[in-house]
Amino acid sequence: MPEADKEGKQFYQDVPMKTDGFFLKGCNSFDWGMKNRLSRIFNPRSGRTVMLAVDHGYFQGPTTGLERIDLNIVPIAPYADTLMLTRGMLRSSLPPSYNRGIVLRASGGPSILHELSNEHLALDMEEALRLNAAALAVQVFIGGEYETQSVHNMTRLIDKGMRYGMPILAVTAVGKEMNRDARYFRLACRMCAELGATYVKTYYIPKGFDTVAASCPVPVVMAGGKKIPEKDALTMAYNAVQEGAAGVDMGRNIFQSEAPAAMIQAVGKVVHEDMPPKEAYQFYLELCQG
Ligand code: R5P
């Protein structure tokens, strides 16, 4: 048996990883095109991103809050640094004048009616370049039934991405039966980074998220997860960036909010300006009152 992730190891959470020449950790050895694309996702001033994830329909159809991307999302999209969506929604519903970063969903297959980890690649690199994507997102199911297949999807996409300067976002998907703890997320994020992911999306956990971020040598962005009260979502985003996340990739906690435009702006304050959650919630309420 190889040595597993044991308790009591030293992650040096208080020592930031040295980053030479480029503002994102672990990304200095990439070529100009890759770095330029990453700068369309991450704000070079704060080094962080507010990604708005609206790709849920690729496996669950018209999710609550995403019934009409043209009406629900297009008006708030300018507040995001980056929009994460499918090519179908991009072409049909997003104006090409939208000039922020686009992260395209590049894996898919099963619907919510079947085993979700049984995904394949669902987007060709040529199509991604035609659509001027800033990165491609692929789901990785560590511990899932089709773990190896999903990892293979990721590594094939990374190989193509390296050829054309396209960043690949590995999205760590957690099955219902999986323990959502630091050890699991360290395993999942580190595997994705070791196998070449440009950056990784993962869930926040109250205990040990700092070790997840510290042991991943490339940027980690926090996944939003199911809808929780606005104040709690802002607190979660704040804790994540304070503990080492390079921003957030939130969906339901923004577009299912009572006031999505206000919520995404409040998330922006937390992510880019380190605004504490209490103040950010107040900012949200003030925007709601108009
Ligand atoms: C993850 O499985 C997909 O990318 C989702 O469609 C999306 O990113 C989830 O976002 P949230 O959990 O914040 O609604």
Q: Enumerate the active-site residues.
A: 201
Pocket of ligand 1 (CB under 6 A): 53, 55-56, 171, 173, 223-225, 249-253
Distance CA 23, CA 38 (A): 10
The CA 81 to ligand 1 mean position distance, Å, reads 16
SS3 91: helix
What's the CA gap between 260 and 257, in Å, rounded? 5
Q: Reduce the DSSP state of residue 259 to 3 states and report it.
A: coil
Average pLDDT of 152-166? 98
Query: Average pLDDT of the chain?
Result: 95
Indicate the length of the chain as a whole number: 290
Q: Which residues pair with 168 in a beta bridge?
A: 136
What pLDDT is stored for residue 88 in this prediction? 97
Residue 1 clears pLDDT 60, i.e. is over it: no
Q: What is the pLDDT of residues 23-79, one digit of tens each?
A: 999 999 999 999 999 999 999 999 999 999 999 999 999 999 999 999 999 999 999
Query: Residue 176: which pLDDT band, with cuts at 50, 70 and 90?
Result: low
Residue-level pLDDT at 199: 98
Tell me how far the alpha carbon of residue 10 lies from the centroid of ligand 1, in angstroms: 31
Nearest to 240, CA basis, from 74, 6, 51: 51
pLDDT of res. 2: 65
pLDDT of residue 47: 97
By the 10 Å C-beta count (0-12 exposed, 13-18 middle, 19+ buried), 99 is classed as: exposed
* Of the candidates 178, 186, 235, the residue with the CA atom closest to the CA atom of residue 210: 186
Residues 211/13, Cβ–Cβ less than 8 Å = yes
